[in-house]
């Protein structure tokens, strides 16, 4: 089917697949991309483009198998991209530097931007699962139940990881970190 266009029915089925899996795949992509939402969007798009090219074989799979295929494909695309672009790993600090510069009009804005940058640096250094939970909660604004579904872990585990992440932020930054208003009850 390479080089051919999808039939209207196949295109409709692929659109249904997108509707069913795009949000979950985006959450996974955010974890893979270490919080870079633009890259996560690109990875999701690339995974669904690959799905369109392979739809003739994917259409026969059960939903859970399609989900797995999409995740594996997204991960392979990301790894390939990381290998091609070694500078990718330095992309987030450059984005934050531009953001910090744009907000540096007043001392309060500069301090706020610096605190936010420091938070993201601390989150980047957290253990993998804690890092993923923190990004999905504080960058994607997902509820604990949504995070649990995306990562395939218990909701209580999500709560524990968020609690530990908050404690690390407070220990390193004090109580005036940007996520201090994020209470546990409001997160679920």
The predicted-structure confidence for 49-96, as pLDDT tens digits, reads as follows 999 988 988 888 888 899 889 988 998 888 777 665 544 445 455 555
Q: What is the mean pLDDT of the chain?
A: 77
Helix (H) or strand (E) holding 79: helix 63-84
**Closest by CA position to 186, among listed 137, 152, 149:** 137
Residues 111/143/21/157 CA torsion (nearest 10 deg): 100
The listed range with the strongest mean pLDDT (76-80, 107-111, 132-136) is: 132-136
- Of residues 63 and 141, which shows the higher confidence score? 63
What pLDDT, on a 0 to 100 scale, did the predictor assign at position 184? 46
Cα-based torsion angle of the residue sequence 100, 104, 108, 109 in order, rounded to the nearest 10 degrees: -50
């Amino acid at each position: 089917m390479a080089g051919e266009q999808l039939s209207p029915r196949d295109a409709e089925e692929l659109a249904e697949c997108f509707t069913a899996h795009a949000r979950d795949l985006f959450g996974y992509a955010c974890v893979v991309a270490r919080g870079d939402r633009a890259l996560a969007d690109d990875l999701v798009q690339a995974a669904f483009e690959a799905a369109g090219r392979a739809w003739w074989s994917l259409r026969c799979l059960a939903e859970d198998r399609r989900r797995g295929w999409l995740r594996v494909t997204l991960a392979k695309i990301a790894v390939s991209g990381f290998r091609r672009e070694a500078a990718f790993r330095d992309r987030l600090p450059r984005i934050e530097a531009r953001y910090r510069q744009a907000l540096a009009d007043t001392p309060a804005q500069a301090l706020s931007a610096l605190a936010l940058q420091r938070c993201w640096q601390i989150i980047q250094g957290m253990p993998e699962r804690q890092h993923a939970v923190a990004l999905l909660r504080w960058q994607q604004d997902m509820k604990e139940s949504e995070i649990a579904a995306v990562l395939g872990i218990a909701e209580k585990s999500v709560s524990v990881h968020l609690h530990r992440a908050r404690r690390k932020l407070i220990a390193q930054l004090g109580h005036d970190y940007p996520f201090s208003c994020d209470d546990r009850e409001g997160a679920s």
